[in-house]
């Protein structure tokens, strides 16, 4: 299954649909009026002039849901804690109509190149890129009392078999990811303003990286609560309630994903 997210900062979805269909691409609508499933294409969907112009991003429909759930306002001050390669970052900018400010943090210098490339290609103007480890960068933010309205933590995870056909992950890998995810979500809550919201997501199916992380943060802290997300808001994909009420899980044939939303209450 292949999907594209139309970049409404640059083009109307129906105009792009017509352009691609005139080239032999068969597109089907989704629950998002700016996202389409690519049913057929006579060429690679990542090698068109429209792609190079930044008119769309090839992206799984599952990975479009976390920014939609975060639901940023146009003037929001947003932190994207693990931003590369920029699919969700540019989606947030699109939802914000290039207004407000996004601080996009990425630990990997090599992955920052892809993040910069996508931000430039998609015409994003409201994003500051920071090449840093959030576990260290948080000290600078806290020292300067910089807090955010909303935070996206699409956490590094052990992945899934749909995304990586050669996936071979050990229990130690999963435990390592879980520990890092718990550390990052704790940092995220520290950096939220009161009444601010954080969306946590992974493309892993492992409970240790998903429900266990949410359970951990809810037990550890008394300044955060879980916000209920309804699966029926997202039609046409294999999405169900997670193993904690109010969270979401997406299953194959769609790309597996876990999504939870938290609010800072103190």
User: Which parts of the chain register pLDDT below 70?
Assistant: 161-167
Beta bridge partners, 249, equal: 240, 258
Burial class of residue 37 (count of CB atoms within 10 Å of its CB; 0-12, 13-18, 19+):
middle
Whether residue 45 is found in the same domain as residue 79: no
Shared domain check, 132 and 98: yes
Same domain, 186 and 87: yes
Q: Which of 39, 58, 77 is the last residue of a domain?
A: 58
pLDDT of residue 231: 93
Q: Which residue, 34, 58, 82, sits at the end of a domain?
A: 58
pLDDT in tens, 174-208: 999 999 999 999 999 999 999 999 999 999 999 99
User: What pLDDT shows up at residue 159?
Assistant: 82
d(CA 98, CA 136): 28
Among residues 32, 203, 259, 260, the one annotated as catalytic is: 203
203 is catalytic: yes
Q: What CATH number does the domain containing 36 carry?
A: 3.30.70.1170
Positive or negative: CA dihedral 28, 55, 237, 206: positive
- The CATH number assigned to the domain holding 76 equals 3.40.50.150
**Which stretches of 99-220 are DSSP H helices?**
109-121, 134-143, 171-190, 211-220
Q: Domain check: are 104 and 52 in the same one? A: no
Lookup result for tokens 């910069």: 116
Q: Are residues 156 and 250 in the same domain?
A: yes
Give the domain-ending residue among 58, 79, 98. 58
Give the chain's domain count.
2
Q: Which domain holds residue 34?
A: 2-58
Distance CA 171, CA 175 (A): 6
Q: Are residues 8 and 98 in the same domain?
A: no
Q: Is there a single domain that holds both residue 83 and residue 157? A: yes
Q: Does 96 share its domain with 220?
A: yes
- Residue 162: per-residue pLDDT: 65
* The predicted structure's pLDDT at residue 163: 65
> Binding site: residue ranges?
82-88, 106, 133, 154
Instruction: Specify whether 253 is located in the same domain as 137.
Output: yes
In a shared domain, residues 83 and 211: yes
Annotated binding residues for S-adenosyl-L-methionine, written as ranges, equal 82-88, 106, 133, 154
CA distances to 191, 196, 197, 213 from 266, rounded to whole Å, are 12, 10, 12, 20
The answer on 87 and 54 residing in a single domain is no
Give the burial class of 48: count Cβ atoms within 10 A of its Cβ; 0-12 exposed, 13-18 middle, 19 or more buried: middle
**143 and 227 part of one domain:** yes
């Amino acid at each position: 299954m292949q999907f594209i997210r139309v970049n409404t900062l640059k083009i109307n979805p129906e105009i792009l649909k017509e352009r691609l269909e005139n080239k032999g691409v068969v597109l089907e609508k989704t629950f998002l009026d700016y996202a389409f499933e690519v049913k057929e294409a006579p060429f690679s969907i990542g090698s068109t002039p429209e792609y190079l112009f930044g008119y769309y991003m090839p992206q799984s429909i599952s990975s479009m849901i976390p920014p939609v759930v975060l639901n940023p306002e146009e003037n929001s001050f947003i932190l994207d804690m693990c931003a590369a390669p920029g699919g969700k970052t540019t989606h947030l900018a699109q939802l914000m109509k290039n207004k407000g400010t996004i601080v996009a943090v990425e630990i990997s210098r090599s992955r920052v190149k892809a993040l910069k490339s996508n931000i430039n290609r998609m015409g994003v103007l409201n994003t500051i890129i920071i090449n840093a480890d959030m576990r260290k960068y948080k000290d600078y933010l806290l020292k300067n009392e910089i807090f955010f309205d909303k935070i996206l933590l699409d956490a590094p995870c052990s992945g899934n078999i749909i995304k990586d056909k050669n996936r071979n992950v050990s229990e130690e890998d999963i435990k390592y990811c879980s520990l890092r995810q718990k550390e990052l979500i704790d940092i995220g809550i520290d950096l939220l303003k009161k009444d601010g919201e954080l969306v946590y997501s992974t493309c892993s199916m492992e409970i240790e990286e998903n429900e266990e992380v949410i359970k951990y943060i809810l037990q550890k802290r008394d300044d955060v609560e879980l916000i209920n997300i309804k699966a029926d808001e997202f039609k046409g994909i294999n999405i169900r309630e997670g193993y904690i009420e109010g969270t979401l899980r997406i299953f194959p044939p769609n790309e597996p994903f876990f999504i939870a939303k938290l609010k800072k209450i103190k």
